[in-house]
Structure 1
Amino acid sequence: MEHYVSIWPVLALALIHFFGTRLRFLGGVPRSIWLSAAGGVSVAYVFLHLFPELNEGQEHVQRVFPGEGFLRHHVYIMALLGLAIFYGLERTVVTSKQKRQAKEGKEETSPGIFWVHIGSFAVYNALIGYILFQREEGTLQQLFLFSVAMALHFVVNDFGLLEHHREKYQHVGRWVLVLAIFLGWATGYLVELSHTLIVLVTAFVGGGVILNVLKEELPENRKSRYWAFIMGAAAYAALLLSI
């Protein structure tokens, strides 16, 4: 695949951060069927395409880091770590909002928690940007499928971050995330990670995707559309299984 092909999905993801939260019809309660469907697509991609791909990469990782017992499952440990870290971040943000609302009557996080949260998602975006660059070594189909799943995932993330941080996300946070994905992509030209590290990074992102989707769908007050989530997951699963 020619170089610079991956810049197009990177630009698309950046535009989502620019304009995603302006799509007002996606906000509010009950949860938009489009956001639920987008979450279903992202999860379907992780389980049916990303994890099977990582299973193949696990063999390579085992050769580099041989071990017994739980150390034989390095890739899945990284996926679990990604899920656990983002779960911890979500709990920290929710707790911060509750405490600030009780003390100051403000339904938003403290400035410190805001920067920790946005900084974590900036790293997450940078890793996705780097993975997009690395996908140039594969087929155009692989790049397209990953890009579509991440684009819809970014829409879900945008509305989650906007709900947590409100004006701070609109004025500052989304710009940080845009910069991060470009920096992650550009790093691909400067730093060539080993195949082992790329597999582990991708596993970490996969775990983060699962948590970041489910945390938006599961809270009862969101009134999520389960049927839309299932339809999105089923449709993308059918596409992935047919090619």
Structure 2
Amino acid sequence: MVVVVPSADPGSVLAGLFVLTVALAHLLPHQFPEAIERRRHGLLSLAGGVSIVYAFVHLFPEIDHRRETIEGLDLLGVTLVSEHIYLVAFVGLSLFYGLERLASTAGTTSRDRGDSPPGATVFAAHVGGFSIYNAVIGYAIVRGETGAESVFLFTIAMALHLFGNDQAMHEHHPHLYARYGRFVLAAAVALGALIGAVVVFDPGVYTVALSLLTGGIVFNAIKNELPRTRDSRFWAFAVGAGIYGAILVSL
């Protein structure tokens, strides 16, 4: 059962700017000049380094710190105990793996038949899953429950991460995503932030959402932001991970 109570802090202008920064990750890439387009693989590798180091240095420790909040929580008929926290994160990874397989399999079948890219049903499922993902990010920004002392650092990590997700969605659904999907995902960040400004979710419920998000971030960062070996840029990954990791550890 989801329990909510009135929010004590409706947010701030700064939080709104952070939310806008993350939402723009789905809107600005389509306006990139050609010079930046040529460096896309390097940017994706750098984003992957930042996203993955953030997940391991701050998000995993955060959900471990919050693990007691899920004790006794009923989730789809299963009563959780604190030791289930990493299982929940694994479920998040698995769910997004399933979404990726759905989109990839549908795309392969369409190409084999000479049809257009995956249809509206697959597109809706894919965008729907990532809309919830983005909403959790927006909520976390406004509530300040980001797994780090600095919401700014969470914002930068998530903006780079969603840049990688954006590229993958565009590859799976080039026409539908460019016309509708990117706006839906940008709006989902804002919707999550709006919810966070109005209500506070039960700590256990939020911990489950954050754990699912963490698992999804690990899967999507590896899949989207670390392209095939011949296309990836290890130096960019190392720079992103090294610099951001050093900043996070120094907090």
The TM-score bracket by the shorter chain reads 0.7 to 0.9
Query: How far is the alpha carbon of 1:172 from its aligned partner?
Result: 0.4
- Going from structure 1 to structure 2, the CA distance change for 1:120 and 1:130 (only over 3 Å counts) comes to same
Instruction: Say if 1:156 and 1:172 are closer, same or farther in 2 by CA, change over 3 A.
Output: same
SS at match of 2:144: helix
Alignment partner, residue 143 of structure 2? 134
Query: Do the aligned partners of residues 138 and 73 (structure 1) sit closer, same or farther apart at CA in structure 2, a change above 3 Å counting?
Result: closer
Q: Which one-letter code corresponds to 1:92 in the other structure?
A: L
CA contact 1:126–1:184 (8 Å) conserved in 2: yes
Letter in structure 1 aligned against 2:119: S
**Match for 2:114: what amino acid?**
E
Q: Is the 8 A contact 2:41 2:227 kept in 1?
A: no
Q: Secondary structure at 2:200's aligned position in 1? A: coil
Give the distance between the partners of 1:54 and 1:34, measured in 2 at CA. 28
Q: What amino acid is aligned across from residue 228 of structure 1 in structure 2?
A: A
Change (3 A) 1:91 1:35: same
What is the number of equivalent residue pairs in this alignment?
236
Give the deviation of 1:111 after TM superposition.
1.6
CA deviation after TM superposition for structure 1 residue 193, in Å: 0.6
Whole-angstrom distance in 2 between the partners of 1:195 and 1:71: 14
User: 1:14 corresponds to which residue?
Assistant: 23
The answer to whether 1:58 aligns with 2:103 is: no
Contact 1:26 1:35 in 2 (8 A): no
Q: Which residue is equivalent to 2:4? A: none
Q: 1:181 to 1:51 in 2, by over 3 A?
A: same
> How far off its partner does 1:189 sit?
3.0
* Alignment partners' CA distance in 2, 1:74 and 1:101: 40
Deviation for aligned residue 1:196: 1.6
Q: What residue number does 1:110 align with? A: 119
Worse-superposed segment, 143-152 or 214-223: 214-223
Alpha-carbon distance change, 14 to 65 in structure 1, aligned in 2, over 3 angstroms: closer
Change (3 A) 1:95 1:240: same
Deviation at 1:81, TM superposition (A): 1.0
Once residues 92 and 119 of structure 2 are traced to their aligned partners in structure 1, the CA distance between those partners, rounded to angstroms, is 24
Structure 1 counterpart of 2:132, from 117, 120, 123: 123
1:101 aligned partner: 111
CA distance in structure 1 between the partners assigned to 2:60 and 2:150 by the alignment:
14
Of 224, 227, 235, the match for 1:227: 235
2:202 corresponds to which residue?
194
**Matched-pair contact (CA < 8 Å) for 2:136–2:189:** yes
Structure 1 residue 88 corresponds to structure 2 residue 88: no
The C-alpha deviation readout for 1:146-204, integer Å capped at 9, x for no partner, is 11110110111111111111121111001111211111111123332111211221111
- 1:31 and 1:225 in contact (8 A); partners too: no
Q: Give yes or no for contact 2:146–2:154 (8 Å, CA) kept in 1.
A: no
What amino acid does structure 2 have at the position aligned with 1:183? L
Q: Do the aligned partners of 1:27 and 1:159 also contact (CA within 8 Å) in 2?
A: no
Tell me the alpha carbon deviations over residues 95-145 of structure 1, each in whole angstroms, 9 at most, x when there is no partner. 000101111343x21221011101111111111111111117998x42111
**Pair 1:87–1:222, CA change in 2 (3 A):** farther
C-alpha deviation, 1:230, in angstroms = 2.4
Change (3 A) 1:228 1:221: closer
**Secondary structure of 1:6 counterpart:** helix
Specify every segment of 5 or more residues in structure 1 that has no aligned partner in the other structure, as ranges. none
Letter in 2 for 1:158: D
Question: Given the two structures, how large is their TM-score scaled by the length of structure 1?
Answer: 0.87
- Taking the aligned partners of 2:207 and 2:120, their CA distance within structure 1 comes to 34
Q: Which amino acid aligns with 2:98?
A: G
Percent identity among equivalent residues?
A: 37
Residue equivalent to 1:152: 160
Q: Contact 1:31–1:224 at 8 Å: present in 2 too?
A: no
**Matched AA of 2:84:** H
